[in-house]
Structures are given as structure tokens and as C-alpha cells.
């Protein structure tokens, strides 16, 4: 199956979730994140902000706990640059900093830029992933471009509401594989 077919299938699977199912899967993802991710080495974590209308994994649960219990960890959030399909990253200061972009995604309107080389862990959005750590996103390449700029030691962790896709995903040299992926059932490490 190619990426376009998988994208369509997993977008439909997400939309088919009831609000109760969606909330339960997000709570399980949140629990698995804090059960399996070693935050002792993390000074800066980059996370996407969820598009809840498309039932993306709700990173707000993780963000809220990080801000409460891990105040030494700085949170970085993306702003899209549609003209180049690239991300700019800014430190998260609070909800007052956010606006909704043309796709309905909350993003910072301003802030202190995050230097990419300072990021220790990236939470990567995806629709599905395979057992080799390849993922299917929305197809614009924003995160692949961004992940190529990150330090080799930066952990790339996907968040998925569903288990691993059994079929291998078609890839190109442009694709950047994940180090691990968290699902509601646990964590899958690659490499």
C-alpha cells in the first residue's frame, strides 16, 4: 500500500472515533509517554499542537504535565511556513501566544525562536507508522525537513492513536525514520 492510500485509511479511522474513544486513547498515550520516556536528559522538547478536529493525538495533556512537574524542561512549538513547507520553532509561553493558522492548527504568532540544535526530543505527528520506524504524515514534508536539521542525538518519537501498520511503508531518501513510537498500548523502539 502506498502513502496516499494509507493516509486516506488512517484519516478515516481517526474520524470514525467517538469522542469517548478519542479521549480514552489520548489518556492512554499520555500515560505511556510518562511511563516510557526518560526525561532526565531532556532540556528542550519540541511538540506539535494538535488539530483536534482531525482527532490528532492530544499533546496538551503532555504539555500541561510537563509545565507543572518538569519546569526545567522548555517546550518548543512549531509555526508553519507554507511558502517553503518548513517549520519555525518558538518556545511555548502560554495560550496568549497562539493563533489559528489556515489549516486550523494553533501556532505561535510570536515568541523566542528555538535553536534547533538545542532540541533533545521531538514529538512527531503521524497518521500511521511501520515496524521500521517509517511514518505517514500529511504529505507536505514539514517534519522530514525539520528532523533533518536536528542533532543526531535528538530523539524522534511518534505519537499514534493506532498500533503499528503491518505493511511496510514506501519510503524515499527524503524520509526521516523515528527512533520510537508511542501508542495507547505502549512504546515501540526502532533500530
| Alpha-carbon gap, residue 135 to 141, rounded angstroms | 11
pLDDT digits (tens, 9 = 90+) for 156-181: 999 999 999 988 788 877 889 999 99
The residue ranges of every structural domain in the chain are: 3-186
Asked if residue 26 lies in contact with residue 57, where contact means CB atoms within 8 angstroms, the answer is yes
* Between 158 and 4, the higher pLDDT residue: 158
Residue 183 grid coordinates:
501508542
The CATH number of the domain covering residues in 3-186 = 3.40.50.10420
pLDDT at position 173: 79
pLDDT digits (tens, 9 = 90+) for 111-141: 999 999 999 999 999 999 999 999 998 877 8
| Alpha-carbon gap, residue 33 to 63, rounded angstroms | 11
Query: What is the chain's percent helix, strand, coil content, to nearest 5?
Result: 30, 25, 45
Helix (H) or strand (E) holding 9: helix 3-15
Q: pTM of the entire structure?
A: 0.93
- Using DSSP, state whether 61 is helix, strand or coil: helix
Scan for cell 504568532, then name that residue: 109
Amino acid at each position: 500500500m502506498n502513502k496516499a492510500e494509507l493516509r486516506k485509511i488512517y484519516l478515516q479511522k481517526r474520524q470514525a472515533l467517538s469522542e469517548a474513544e478519542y479521549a480514552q486513547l489520548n489518556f492512554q498515550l499520555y500515560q505511556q509517554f510518562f511511563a516510557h520516556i526518560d526525561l532526565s536528559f531532556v532540556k528542550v522538547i519540541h511538540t506539535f499542537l494538535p488539530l483536534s478536529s482531525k482527532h490528532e493525538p492530544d499533546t496538551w495533556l503532555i504539555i500541561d504535565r510537563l509545565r507543572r512537574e518538569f519546569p526545567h524542561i522548555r517546550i518548543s512549538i512549531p509555526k508553519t511556513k507554507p511558502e517553503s513547507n518548513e517549520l519555525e520553532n518558538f518556545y511555548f509561553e502560554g495560550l496568549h501566544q497562539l493563533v489559528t493558522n489556515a489549516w486550523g492548527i494553533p501556532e505561535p504568532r510570536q515568541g523566542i525562536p528555538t535553536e534547533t540544535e538545542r532540541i533533545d526530543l521531538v514529538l512527531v505527528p503521524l497518521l500511521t507508522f511501520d515496524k521500521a520506524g517509517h511514518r505517514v504524515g500529511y504529505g507536505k514534508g514539514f517534519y522530514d525537513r525539520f528532523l533533518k536539521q536536528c542533532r543526531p542525538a535528538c530523539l524522534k518519537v511518534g505519537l499514534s492513536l493506532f498500533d503499528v501498520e503491518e505493511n511496510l511503508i514506501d519510503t524515499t531518501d527524503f524520509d526521516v525514520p523515528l527512533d520510537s513510537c508511542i501508542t495507547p498500548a505502549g512504546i515501540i523502539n526502532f533500530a
